[in-house]
Amino acid sequence: MRDAVGGLIGTYDVTGRYLDQSALDGLKSYFAQGEARIKVAAMINGNAADIVKNASLRLFDVVPELLRPGGNAYTTRRYSACLRDMDYYLRYVSYALVAGNNEVLDERVLQGLRETYNSLNVPIGPTVRGIQFMKEAVKEMAAEAGVSDTSFIDSPFEHICRDFSEVSI
């Protein structure tokens, strides 16, 4: 897994270039957000169960057919798997937030997930919706905790949603 610093330096190293002003500005921005990134990751860690629970309640309120016979969250086993997956996404989002780099999502979450979801006939729309509900909850909690600019929170959540949305599962 690469962080923002290692990824940037690696890119410049491969091309044999010195860090230019754009690279330095990127590093400056990453370090300026460091405290907020750590604060949000700690907040996710301390509230993960509630974030997942509330996002799933919102999801099942919007898409109640998931809980009905034939729905992908029908039966205790499937319902638990849904919550487990939401927690899994949230945990890796927290890693990506701290790293300032979404590569960990590709390496640890998204590779192979399409095939798994295809084989299980998991609907992608509700999955993306649940991830978006978690993003909204995290951004709201961060703002309430005094994080003035929560825009960096969007990136890992949107990365997962975009990857899922590009493929018809």
The first and second tokens of residue 31, run together, are: 């370090």
The first and second tokens of residue 29, run together, are: 């921005």
Q: Are residues 6 and 74 in the same domain?
A: no
Q: Are residues 66 and 1 in the same domain?
A: no
Q: What is the pLDDT of residue 169?
A: 41
Residue 19 has pLDDT above 90, yes or no: yes
Q: What is the pLDDT of residue 63?
A: 96
| Lowest mean pLDDT segment, chosen from 21-25, 89-93, 116-120, 151-155 | 116-120
Q: Are residues 97 and 28 in the same domain?
A: no
Residues 6+ apart with CB under 8 A from 8: 19, 23, 26, 27
- Comparing CA positions, the residue from 110, 114, 125 lying closest to residue 160 is 110
Q: What is the pLDDT of residue 46?
A: 97
Q: Are residues 66 and 4 in the same domain?
A: no
Q: What is the pLDDT of residue 162?
A: 93
Q: Are residues 25 and 81 in the same domain?
A: no
Total-model pTM: 0.90
Residue 164 has pLDDT above 90, yes or no: no
Tell me how far apart the alpha carbons of residues 88 and 74 are, in angstroms, rounded to a whole number: 20
Tell me how far apart the alpha carbons of residues 119 and 123 are, in angstroms, rounded to a whole number: 11
Would you tell me how many other CB atoms lie within 10 Å of the CB of residue 73?
23
Q: Are residues 104 and 87 in the same domain?
A: yes
> 79 is in which domain, residue-wise?
34-165
Q: Are residues 47 and 74 in the same domain?
A: yes
Tell me how far apart the alpha carbons of residues 72 and 123 are, in angstroms, rounded to a whole number: 8
Q: How much is the average pLDDT of 12-17?
A: 95
Within 13 Å of residue 129, how many CA atoms lie on the same side as its CB? 15
Q: How much is the average pLDDT of 64-86?
A: 95
Number of folded domains that form the chain: 2
Q: How much is the average pLDDT of 52-74?
A: 96
What CATH number corresponds to the domain at position 122?
1.10.490.20
